[in-house]
Chain A
Amino acid sequence: MVQSFRLDGVGLIKRDKKLSFKFNGKIYYGYEGDTLASALIANGIHLVGRSFKYHRPRGFFGAGVDEPYAIVQLFRNGETEPNIKATEQELFEGLEASSVNCWPSVNFDIGAINNFLKIFLPAGFYYKTFMWPKSFWYKIYEPLIRKAAGLGTVSTSHDKERYEHKYEYCDLLIAGSGPSGLASAYAAAKNGARVILAEDKSRFGGTLLTNDVNIGNKSGKEWAEGIISELKEMPNVIVKNRSQVFGYYDHNMLVMTERISDHLPITKKFHPKQRLWYIRAQEVLISSGSIERPLVFGNNDTPGVMLSSAAKEYLKVYGVLVGKKPLIFTNNDSGYETAIEFKKNGIDPVILDTRKNPQSEIVDEAKHLKINIKFSYVVVAAKGYKKVKSADIAQISDDKEQLGKLENVKCDCICVSGFWTPTIHLASQSGNKTTFDENIDAFVPGISKQNERTLGAANGEYRLSETLKNSFETGYELSKKITNNDNKVSFPNVLEKKSTVHDKFWCVPLPKGKNYKRFLDFQNDVAVSDIEIALKEGYRSIEHVKRYTTLGMATDQGKTSNLNGLQLVSKIENKVVPAVGHTTFRPPYTPVSIGAIVGREIGKHSKPTRKSPMHSWHEKNNAVFVDAGVWLRPRYYKRGNENLFEGSKREAKNVRRNVGVCDVTTLGKIDIKGPDAAELLNRVYTNAWLKLPIGKARYGVMLREDGIVMDDGTTTRISENHYHMTTTTAQAANVLSHLEYYLQLVWPELNVNVVSTTEQWAGAAIAGPKSRDLLQKLFPNFDVSNEGLPFMGYMEGELFGVKARIFRISFSGELAYEVNVESDNGNFMWEKIMEIGKELKIQPYGTEALSTLRIEMGHVAGSELDGRTIPYDNSLEGLVSKKKDFIGKRSLSKKAFSADDRQKIVGVIPLDKKTSIPEGSHLVKDSKASLPNPKLGYISASCWSVEHDNPFSLAILKDGKNMIGKKLFVMSPLKNKIIPVEIVSSHYVDPKGERARS
């Protein structure tokens, strides 16, 4: 197909690289360097979508990030992505895209019926209409709205692309590579500053690529290219294109997305698709330029109506004509520049200028080129449905209230210019107090909060010479402040055409008897009449008007619509614009893909995975793993077709009968050293610690200041001033911070050091009646008899030449030991245990069997120490010293904590001795009581008792101590279960704890 709107020899595209692409199933051609938008326009395509609310035809309005219309669904390398702006998406070979928000097709759209309804959907329509009857919402309204609305389809498959994060530091971050960005970057870089220059587009230079200017005897484009190539060579400069600085956060942290592969058909091997940069900058220079404002008139959303700057960019950068019969509608000189470019390329434009008699070099040039200019003229309404065919125009009175007789002129596009709005988003995000500049009818940055300055058009300065002068100066000054260098670059000579003031006119009045829609927000279909309704209904705050009408709320975030909306509100309210104020600018400036935000932290990289030194042994022996915090622990070792229940039962039984071994490496371990170590323990644990002998372990419970149990574990006195503390796997990090808090802030007088040694030791728990036999074989030269190594004893031994620590402690309730060796020897230890334990019928056991063993013994663990219980609740009151003070003690005397019917741990058995009790179930007195049924307690942990061969649970029950022997009901609405149960002691096996001491 011929690119009938492409000019020969104009533009910056690569004519020798022809690319084919598909849009809505049809094949077209473009060139390397095109955007999807420029390539479509070159092919005469102007209908690319439908609007959000009324499904009106949508074309192109801009040529960059401000685009409100041309949102497409992109297909690339077998994946699809919604919400892509055709004006930003660079063309690549084989690109496929389709329209969104239109069903069944862009040319015939059912939703467009909304458009022909007699009464348009006014502001608040959804709020008002779809609320009643209430039952209609889920079944009828919501699905209907969901089908009709939306801007594309999210892929539900896994994103195969890779996204990266990067942290960077610099002296100056410069956002935008237009004249101010280039000049300031160059001056600062030449003065030795570390500079990052970020450009959103693929090409550097900003307006220098399209404006007819001369800098240092070069065209703007040539000058920009020279500066960029010099900057790229400098080691202190990072120059990035396709990189949008989208967020300005606290303490000069800015975030930028770099689109590394989006412009390529396939991401190169080992390359990410996008990279998110976290940049901490000493100083930030915002050179983000300005965005042209629309003029508001009837049917101003018709395809073919677009910003005059966009028309110029399509022409000068892409060699594309947006129309062959252009009508330029302007209130300032910028429209003339577009008209002049058309004229130079053989197209005859007509200019409608709202001004009566403007005098400037640019206007003179247009006159000189014999361009047809109509002063004091406006476009009243665009004509045509899917594309502009003509325009109703009229003369306008000096007070801009009265329209003359309507005339119809043929045209195929209407290029509008309502003057320029500085892009103050980043400045505003940084906390800058923006001010309203009457001269340009727009907000500009005011007083800075952070180290940020705004330059050039973003600061409301539209003269190139002034912009360059300020920018060179600022780059030099800031770099001098940071580097103390004093190398000043010379300032080039600048030639530009002088322009005159713009007309403070932005909205064409309606002619008599006509009720044209005059749109403010093009993406969300917010018209002048919607704002009028919102104000009539009493909305005053601009933030409320925004949310009620959805003005400025779409993916373009009102880049083209906000100021005109403010103008309207201020006019109706009879206030000045600054009194109305603008809505808050929040990051991101442009949409950021979720992939870039997540980065590499997906799947197994979403958190670190910690493995014990014995992990590969577990893997080889069919361990089924479970997440325990960030650790992977064997849940059970699968034999044959065993399931979890069968496997864990077998393992637990073997511990009770013979001997088992469990990997307890994950337990938190803290090494405590210093003359005041015992005093520290005495203060953080509830029981007494000052008299623990060397070579003895003790169980301890730690509280928070509010009396709630924080953690439990054993601590062993290794030598005079040296202790080894263990914590639960989950609380390891918190306990360390807790100890550090008290040592550093509360009791700095204590001479103690604490350090985590969790990863230094591999641990194996050996449990069961035959565990002593096994230990003796492992340590044949050591006396591990009940006398030599009594319960809660500790000794240092040697395991076949490897140094080992042996603790006689028991979590399972059986005779048990824990052996620790240095991590590197963990696997050696484990294999020795398995090898020598073979004749004793040893089996490894996982966390499930471990739980079973501790539950039927009534040992509390994380599910009871859940941040809601005090020592009494866990039957740990025997460990609470009455003689000394400790963290949290004062709180235990609170009334609720010492109430007579205080909750307490109990055991629970189903009356039928068969039905398993779901964890988390409630205990109630009467299963048939009316709701809400008073809850007496909850099931904290459940198991199948291997000792008694029936289900057994632990529960925290109100007045638990007086409930033993009572019959209650367990209710689990989630599992739809009601189970009659009996309350028993929490110590279901070996209540006197004789086994562990045997």
Chain B
Amino acid sequence: MLYINCPHCGLRSQNEFSYGGDATVKRPDLNKEISDQDWDNFVYNRKSLRGKHWELWQHISGCRQWIKVERDTSTHEIFNTLKANEETI
């Protein structure tokens, strides 16, 4: 079970969190023209990366904040966590 450092609450076990997908996906602005391909990439297409990547988790049984977690998908090592409004490096 992962041990996730919520930037708001501190270290908490994985069972307090729910996974929320790739944190680097940016929703296109509302009311903006966008090609079918770009939209499909946003809605459906995800890289199933092996290794370090940024993902979203929500601390549902805690502060309810969405946070960004830098994790290695093969080793489960967590390198960094950020608040929702902090930019990934």
CB of B9 closer than 8 Å to a CB of A: no
Assembly CA distance A431 to B77 (angstroms): 11
Whether B30 pairs with A683 at a CB distance below 8 angstroms is yes
- Known A449-B75, A748-B84; judge A253-B3 contact (CB<8 A): yes
Q: How far is the CA of A35 from the CA of B30 in the complex (A)?
A: 71
* Alpha-carbon separation in the docked complex, A706 to B46 (Å): 14
Interface residues of B in 6-35 (CB under 8 A from A): 13, 18, 20, 27-28, 30-31, 34
Among residues 31 to 66 in chain B, which have CB atoms less than 8 Å away from a CB atom of chain A?
A: 31, 34, 36, 39, 42-44, 56, 58, 60, 64-66
Min CB–CB distance A35 → chain B (angstroms): 33
CA distance A431 to B78 in the complex (A): 15
Q: Are B66 and A252 in contact (CB under 8 A)?
A: no
Pick the residue among B2, B34, B65 that contacts A251 (CB under 8 A): B2
Q: In the complex, which residues of chain A have a beta carbon less than 8 angstroms from the beta carbon of B58?
A: 737, 740-741
Interface pair A706/B43, CB less than 8 Å apart:
yes
B39: chain A residues within 8 A (beta carbon)? 890-891
Could you say which residues of chain A place their CB within 8 Å of the CB of B44? 706
Contact A250 B18 (CB under 8 A): no
Residue of A with least CB distance to B76? A250
Indicate whether A251 sits within 8 Å of B1 (C-beta atoms), given known contacts A706-B44, A890-B39. yes
Establish whether residues A251 and B42, one from each chain, have CB atoms under 8 Å apart when the complex forms.
Answer: no
A863 within 8 A of partner (CB): no
CB pair A737–B60 under 8 Å, yes or no, is yes
Q: In this complex, what residue of A is CB-closest to B1?
A: A253
Contact: A745 with B56, CB < 8 Å? yes
User: How many B residues have CB within 8 A of the partner chain?
Assistant: 27
How far apart are the CA atoms of A683 and B29 in the complex, in Å? 11
Task: Tell me if A249 counts as interface (CB < 8 A to partner B).
Answer: yes
Interface residues as binary, B66-78 with A (CB distance below 8 Å gives 1, 0 otherwise): 1000000001101
B66 touches A891 (CB 8 A): no
B59 CB, nearest partner CB in chain A, Å: 10
Interface centre among B27, B28, B34 (most CB of A within 10 A): B27
Beta-carbon contacts of A724-738 to B below 8 Å, as 1s and 0s?
Answer: 000000000100010
A75 located at the interface, meaning its Cβ lies under 8 Å from any Cβ of chain B in the complex: no
Contact partners of A884 in chain B: CB under 8 A:
31
8 Å CB interface, A465-505 against B: none
In the complex formed, the residue of B with least CB distance to A894 is: B36
| A251 pairs with B64, CB closer than 8 A | no
The answer to the question of A585 belonging to the interface, with a C-beta cut-off of 8 Å to chain B, is no
Residue of B nearest to A748 (CB): B85
Min CB–CB distance A979 → chain B (angstroms): 38
Q: Are A278 and B43 in contact (CB under 8 A)?
A: no
| A705 / chain B contacts, CB cutoff of 8 Å | 27, 42-43
Please tell me if A962 contacts chain B, counting CB pairs below 8 Å: no
In the complex, the answer to whether A280 meets B30 with C-beta atoms within 8 Å is no
Cβ–Cβ contact B3 & A280, under 8 A: yes
- Measured between alpha carbons, how far is A466 from B78 in the docked complex, in Å? 36
Query: 8 Å CB contacts to B: which residues of A241-260?
Result: 249-253
Residue numbers in A under 8 Å from B66 (CB-CB):
740-741, 744-745
Interface string of A697-722 (1 = CB under 8 A from B): 00000000110000000000000000
Chain A residues in 8 Å Cβ range of B75: 431, 449
Instruction: For A891, give the chain B residue with the smallest CB separation.
Output: B43
Please, which residues of chain B bring their CB within 8 A of the CB of A748? 84-85
How far in angstroms is the closest Cβ of chain A from B66? 5
Closest CB in chain A relative to B8 CB, distance in Å: 11
Q: Could you say which residues of chain B place their CB within 8 Å of the CB of A885?
A: 30-31
Cα A98 to Cα B76 in complex, Å, equals 45
Question: Nearest chain-A residue to B20 (Cβ)?
Answer: A741
Set of chain A residues within 8 Å of B34, measured between Cβ atoms: 890
Residues on the B chain within 8 Å of A431, using CB: 75
Partner of A250, one of B2, B42, B43, B85: B2
Interface residue? A746 (CB, 8 A): yes
* Chain B residue with Cβ nearest A704: B43
Identify the closest chain B residue to A890 (Cβ): B39
Q: How far is the CA of A737 from the CA of B44 in the complex (A)?
A: 20
* Complex CA distance for A737 and B61, rounded to whole angstroms: 11
**Smallest CB–CB gap between A321 and chain B, Å?**
47
Q: Chain A residue with minimal CB distance to B56?
A: A745
Measured CB to CB, the nearest residue on chain B to A893 is B36
Which residue of A has the minimal Cβ distance to B64?
Answer: A740
- Complex interface: chain A residues within 8 A of B64 (CB): 740
B84 CB contact (under 8 Å) in A167, A683, A745: A745
User: Would you list which residues of chain A between 185 and 241 have a CB under 8 Å from chain B?
Assistant: none
A468–B3 Cα gap in the complex (Å)? 32
Contact yes or no, A251 B3, CB < 8 A: yes
Q: Which residue of A lies closest to B27 (CB)?
A: A746
CB distance from B56 to the nearest CB of A (A): 7
- Docked CA distance A253–B28 (Å): 39
Least Cβ distance of B68 to chain A in Å? Answer: 9
A251 and B27: CB pair below 8 A?
A: no
Q: Report B-chain residues with C-beta under 8 Å of the C-beta of A252.
A: 3
Closest to B85 in A: A748
Interface flags for A873-906 (1: CB within 8 Å of B; 0: not) read 0000000000011100011001000000000000
Instruction: Produce 1/0 per residue, A442-463, CB < 8 A to B.
Output: 0000000100000000000000
Q: Which chain A positions have C-beta within 8 A of B42?
A: 705
Binding site for B on A (CB under 8 A): 167, 249-253, 278, 280, 431, 449, 683, 705-706, 733, 737, 740-741, 744-746, 748, 884-886, 890-891, 894
Q: List 6 A-B contacts (CB under 8 A).
A: A449-B75, A741-B58, A744-B65, A745-B66, A884-B31, A885-B30
Using A280-B13, A705-B43, A745-B84 as known contacts, list a sample of 19 further A-B pairs with CB atoms less than 8 Å apart, ordered by residue number in A: A250-B3, A251-B2, A251-B76, A253-B1, A280-B3, A449-B75, A733-B60, A737-B58, A740-B64, A741-B20, A744-B65, A744-B84, A744-B85, A745-B56, A745-B66, A884-B31, A885-B30, A885-B31, A890-B39
Q: Would you list the 3 A-B pairs with minimal beta carbon distance, nearest first?
A: A251-B3, A885-B30, A744-B84
